[in-house]
Each structure stands twice: as C-alpha cells, then as structure tokens.
C-alpha cells in the first residue's frame, strides 16, 4: 500500500485533524469541502449557487494538485443543510462535468461545519 497526502494552498486549509486529500493505491479520497475562499480564509456569504461554485472551485484545486480532473471522479457525496437547495446546487455541480457523471448521493443533514449550506466530498481514480 502506498499512501500520499495531498494539500494545496489553493484550497482551504483543513480546520481539524485531517488532510485535504489522501492518495492510496490508485484512488484519491478528497475531504468534504465547504465555501471558504482560500485566498482570504473567509467563508463565502453569498447565494447558494455562489456557495456551491466555491465548493467546486476548492475541489478543483485539490484535483489540480493531484494532476487529475473532474473526469476522474468516481463518486461524490453532497451534504445539504436543506433539501430545498437541491436543484440549485445540482445545477452548479453538474456544470463541472462533461456528462460522464460519477456515482453520487445527496443528503440533507441537521448541520454542517461553520453553518454552511453545502459540503461535497469526492473519490477519484488516478487513471482512466
């Protein structure tokens, strides 16, 4: 087993005892990302679409650091503060893929870190 930690300053620094991503044996496990702007380390307080775009940008930065793209994503988990946000988050999320979508589940939860509305984690393959 080969394990490598992936971190980049172009995505928010972890706010707890975890890493942005971990590579293990051909897979990349990306920790849940929220709408923190890595350039200011401040939470983005905008519309749900703006929040979702920031989350996806943070995920993209981690993918870039691992030298892969959204095409490599095998599975995602989307956590929402309320299922009424599903359509808007889904629209933003879908715009980052070329139609070859990964497996996914979306769940509404009682609370998320820093009281955000959306958090997304991903699992990717390092080869296609």
User: Which segments of the chain does DSSP mark as H helices, in order?
Assistant: 48-65, 86-94
Cα distance between residue 98 and residue 53, in whole Å = 16
* pLDDT value of residue 109: 96
Per the structure, the complete domain to which residue 96 belongs is given by 3-125
Question: CATH code at 59?
Answer: 3.30.1330.40
Gap between the Cα atoms of 53 and 120, Å rounded:
11
- Antiparallel, parallel or unpaired: β 21-24 and 3-6: antiparallel
Q: For the chain, what is the domain count?
A: 1
pLDDT tens for the chain, 128 residues: list them.
789 999 999 999 998 899 999 999 999 999 999 999 999 999 998 899 999 999 999 999 999 999 999 999 999 999 999 999 999 999 999 999 998 899 999 999 999 999 999 999 999 999 88
Who contacts 116 (Cβ-Cβ below 8 Å, separation ≥6)?
34, 35, 43, 51, 81
Q: What is the pLDDT of residue 10?
A: 97
Instruction: Return the pLDDT at 33.
Output: 97
Per-residue model confidence (pLDDT) at position 128: 83
pTM > 0.85: yes or no: yes
């Amino acid at each position: 087993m080969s394990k490598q930690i992936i971190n980049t300053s172009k995505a928010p620094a972890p706010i707890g005892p975890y890493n942005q991503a971990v590579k293990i044996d051909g897979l990349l496990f990306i920790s849940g990302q929220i709408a923190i702007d890595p350039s200011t380390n401040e939470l983005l307080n905008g519309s749900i679409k703006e929040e979702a775009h920031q989350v996806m940008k943070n995920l993209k930065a981690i993918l870039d650091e691992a030298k892969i793209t959204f095409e490599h994503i095998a599975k995602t988990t989307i956590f929402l503060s309320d299922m009424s946000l599903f359509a808007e988050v889904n629209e933003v999320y879908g715009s980052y893929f070329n139609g070859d979508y990964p497996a996914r589940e979306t769940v509404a939860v009682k609370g998320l870190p820093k009281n955000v509305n959306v958090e997304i984690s991903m699992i990717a393959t390092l080869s296609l």
